[in-house]
Chains A and B, each alone.
Chain A
Amino acid sequence: MALRGNLRDITFTQILNLVNLAHKTGTLIVESPGETAQVSFREGKLAFALVGNESNDLAAILNKTKRISSAQYRAITQHGSNISDKELGLMLINAGILSKDEILNSLQLYCTDIVHRMFTWVEGLFRFENDILPPEDRINVRLDLENLIIEGSRQLREWEQLQDEIPSLEMALKFMDRPGANMKKINLSVEEWRVVSFINPRNTMQQIAHATKMNDLEVRRIIFGLLQAGLVEIVRPSGLPAGGQMRTFPTEKKEEQVSLVNRLINRIRSL
């Protein structure tokens, strides 16, 4: 059976469900507008995953998951570039640096993370290749798909809700003139602060997403949170788009910039 199509028509969650029920072995290749991912399965269980051009050898994965330090990673890549993942894993275990469980946990976390990212992909060509087996030169994991599928369903529901709340990213945001009383004790996450630092009626939400390297789902989720907290409101973009980068001055004309600074000076004096 040719399992191929577009994520527009069949969601990634549905594909995982099919792989799980049919106990499929092979590799799912998904080409989204932003990047390409390969997810390998053995008898319906997740065995391996990689996305884009990211380095996916064991050393890189352990470095990404903070199991080894950057210095250790550099040492491994400089002196041990020819050894396989399995050899490296044995070496780390024998040296007492990591345990087998820690290595497997890192690999599972890495693969799960890629799958979670793919839940946010709503567009892209996919095909399931029965002949492409999980790579033998890599350490494979064996993850049940049920929990991943549940998480995927939850994200799909969330995505639909967010799209209802924020139908278009071509609008802009501005801070509320009278922030809600609950602003006093708000702690924002790193990602939320990243978005907040770009809020400006000249920046559309799409531009903010581009500047912060977030996808549609991620930026919608954050903005929805800010809307619910009463921090911001959606407005029509004003003037020329500011582009992906926040400029120091909202105008390029020097006279206007000088005038702006003088207005600031006068205002500060009047405080």
Chain B
Amino acid sequence: MQTVKMVVTGPFNAGKTEFIRSVSEIDVVSTERKVSTIGEREIKESTTVAMDFGRITVDDDLVLYLFGTPGQKRFDFMWEILSEGMLGFIVMVDSNRPETFREARTILETFRAYAPTPYIVAANKQDKDDAWEVEDIRHALRLDPAIKLLPCIATNRDSVKKTLLELLFSILAEMDAGKLK
């Protein structure tokens, strides 16, 4: 059985759990929730970290795992662990919360530094009234024009499928260009 991994990252409450839940064939293992900082932080990193974990069985020989990173900044040391061996990653942004855009940019830059793998950005919650236009989000994130920024509704399975497909197309494109090893 071969396994491959993709990571879904982004600020807290961007919609990572819903994204994975929309396509995972198993119940998402755990959900992201706020934990108190007082009394839980111990020197030996024994704090429990709630993250998301989903699975899509491709066929008898191949399984895709989706890992959702913890959104809280103090768990950012887990990002590097999760990024090891990933095919690509998706950065989710809450289109209705521009105060999280800077954090999304930081997360994006951090993951880019971990691994030179393809990635796309998903502007989530585009169905809400206060959602920013996708191109305005691109400017706010200072995204390179070559990077895909897609509208997304994480609770909509077709929208999530489309986002995953675009990432896979990006991966194929980089393979054709000889950039991936």
Contact = CB atoms under 8 A, between A and B. Distances in A.
Interface of A: 64-66, 109, 113, 174-175, 179, 183-191, 193-194, 196-197, 200-201, 238, 245-251, 254, 257-258, 260-265, 267-269, 271
A190 B78 contact: yes
B43 A109 contact: yes
A14 B99 CA distance: 58
Given A185-B30, A271-B161, A250 B172 contact: no
B172 to A, nearest CB: 5
Contact of A183 (B27, B46, B81): B27
B49 A187 contact: yes
B48 A189 contact: yes
Given A109-B43, A249-B87, A269-B161, 6 more contacts: A65-B43, A187-B50, A190-B77, A245-B85, A248-B180, A261-B172
B59 interface: yes
Interface stretch (B1-9, B105-113, B119-127, B142-150): B1-9
A175 B64 CA distance: 12
B117 to A, nearest CB: 7
Find the residue from B29, B82, B175 having the highest chain A CB count within 10 A: B29
Contacts of A187: 30, 48-50
Interface in B1-24: 1-5, 23
B140 interface: no
Given A188-B49, A238-B1, A264-B64, A254 B175 contact: yes
